[in-house]
Amino acid sequence: MSATREIISSGNELAALASVDAGCMFFAGYPLTPSSEVMHVISDLLPKKGGAAIQMEDEIAGVAAAIGAGMAGIRTLTATSGPGMSLKAENLGLAQMAEVPLVVVNVMRGGPSTGLPTRVAQGDVSQAKNPSHGDYKSITVCAGNLAECYTETVRAFNLADRFMQPVFVLLDETLGHMHAKAIIPTAEEVEKGIVPRKTFDGPAEEYKPYAAAQDEPAVLNPMFTGYRYHFTGLHHDDMGFPTEEIETCRKLIDRLFRKVEEHKDEIESNEEYKVDDADILLVGYGSASLAIKEAVDVLREEGIKVGMFRPITLWPSPEKRMHELGEKFDKVLVVELNQGQYFEEVQRSMSRLDINKLTKTNGRPFSPADIIEKVKEL
């Protein structure tokens, strides 16, 4: 059994602690409600580990500095909320194209624009799938409780180094500011599970960082270690130099897709709660799943058999499992703190248009009573 510890903390603080325990040595960002505590806490923790945290002049500079640390081979983090993600978008596209690993914690709040800065929402789900223009496959995980604010952040760092790209960790205002007990792995246990990124150790003249197999990421040796190559946001050849050669460009974008698509088994994660004997399926994620789970328990006491499916990895979505569940259940209800951003993915995955939804966009969380009332309508 893995070694664990009990800690009383908030979700934002746990994400910061997880980053340091996972080997992150650099943070750059800008304070933005409701994510600011991530920066506050990690700025205290990192110097004690020999790392560095810096508040940049804005969110754009924050992600740019974090990408620079990733280029240097450092595990790196930036954290923000919805408007900050909008500002980071262009540089996140650079990281996708150049295949620079970093972790981005997004503590979601109401939007669009300034929206409801101190209120909860799940309005950045669609953005997390494609935060920047162009063709690539996002990796996005979503914590559903305090412990996962820690464990999913740890997992994100390993995924970032495995697939050589940004990995997004979605929290929301409720989870970020919730303060309670969480049972999490010990720092020693996390350290055992750290999987460093691959490097090339042969002769420098044989090094071609982007000459990877078509279902694998680039192998980028850290800067300043004697291996020369080029970073660019342009389509590039095996050495990273810009090119417009037709087949090279096609294979590059194809690989950015396939390196994720063909290894979903390493990425996907979900929770199924009382699904086996259920008559009605509820689908939800993030803090909304806490209310869903309580609603399931209350409804079962009343003789209504309900179960919950919770995707933890939102992108790539667990489409195969959702399709299986769609064939099993006549009645499916998607519960989201937005207008239905994941609802459309559930429809697509289940190949059905008769899926029901319960949404809220006024900055207030769901209560179990909200969900119970909707289920009884079904």
| Mean pLDDT over the full length of the chain | 97
Q: Which amino acid belongs to residue 267?
A: I
| DSSP code string of 214-281 | TTS----PPTTSS------SS-B-TTS-B---HHHHHHHHHHHHHHHHTTGGGT--EEEES-TT-SEE
Asked, colleague to colleague, whether 4-192 and 270-377 share their fold, the answer is yes
Tokens encoding 33: 């409600």
User: What residues are paired with 183 via a beta bridge?
Assistant: 6
Nearest alpha carbon to residue 349 among 377, 368, 324, 330: 324
Q: How confident is the model at residue 1 (pLDDT cuts 50, 70, 90)?
A: low
Residue 362: its pLDDT value, please?
A: 97
Assigned architecture for domain 270-377: 3-Layer(aba) Sandwich (3.40)
Which residues touch 254 (CB under 8 Å, ≥6 apart)? Answer: 214
State the pTM of this model: 0.97
What tens digit of pLDDT does each residue of 37-57 get?
A: 999 999 999 999 999 999 999
Residue 360: its pLDDT value, please?
A: 97
Residues 293-318, mean pLDDT to the nearest whole number: 98
pLDDT at 150 over 70: yes
E-strand spans in the chain? 4-10, 26-29, 52-55, 76-80, 102-110, 116-120, 139-142, 166-172, 179-185, 270-273, 280-283, 306-311, 313-315, 331-336, 356-359
Tokens encoding 136: 């690539």
Distance CA 153, CA 135 (A): 25
- Percentage of the residues of the chain whose pLDDT score is greater than 90: 98
Residue 105: its pLDDT value, please?
A: 98
Residues 166-181, mean pLDDT to the nearest whole number: 98
Residue 143: its pLDDT value, please?
A: 98
pLDDT at 2 over 90: no
Tokens encoding 212: 């990877």
Measured from the Cβ of residue 262, the count of other Cβ atoms closer than 10 Å reads 12
Residues 65-89, mean pLDDT to the nearest whole number: 97
Q: Map out the domains of the chain as residue ranges.
A: 4-192, 203-267, 270-377
Residues 91-97, mean pLDDT to the nearest whole number: 98
Q: Is the preceding omega at residue 196 within 30 degrees of 0, hence cis?
A: no
Tokens encoding 270: 């979900």
Does the CA dihedral 134-135-139-142 come out positive or negative? positive
What tens digit of pLDDT does each residue of 331-356 get?
A: 999 999 999 999 999 999 999 999 99
pLDDT at 291 over 80: yes
Nearest alpha carbon to residue 300 among 334, 271, 273, 320: 273
Residue 212: its pLDDT value, please?
A: 97
pLDDT at 372 over 70: yes
Q: How confident is the model at residue 170 (pLDDT cuts 50, 70, 90)?
A: very high
What tens digit of pLDDT does each residue of 243-284 get?
A: 999 999 999 999 999 999 999 999 999 999 999 999 999 999
Distance CA 11, CA 185 (A): 15
The pairs formed by 298-303 with CB atoms below 8 angstroms and a separation of 24 or more are: 298/368, 298/372, 299/372, 299/375, 300/274
Residues 216-240, mean pLDDT to the nearest whole number: 96
Q: How confident is the model at residue 160 (pLDDT cuts 50, 70, 90)?
A: very high
Please identify, in words, the CATH class of the domain defined by 4-192: alpha beta
Counting every residue written for the chain, the total comes to 378
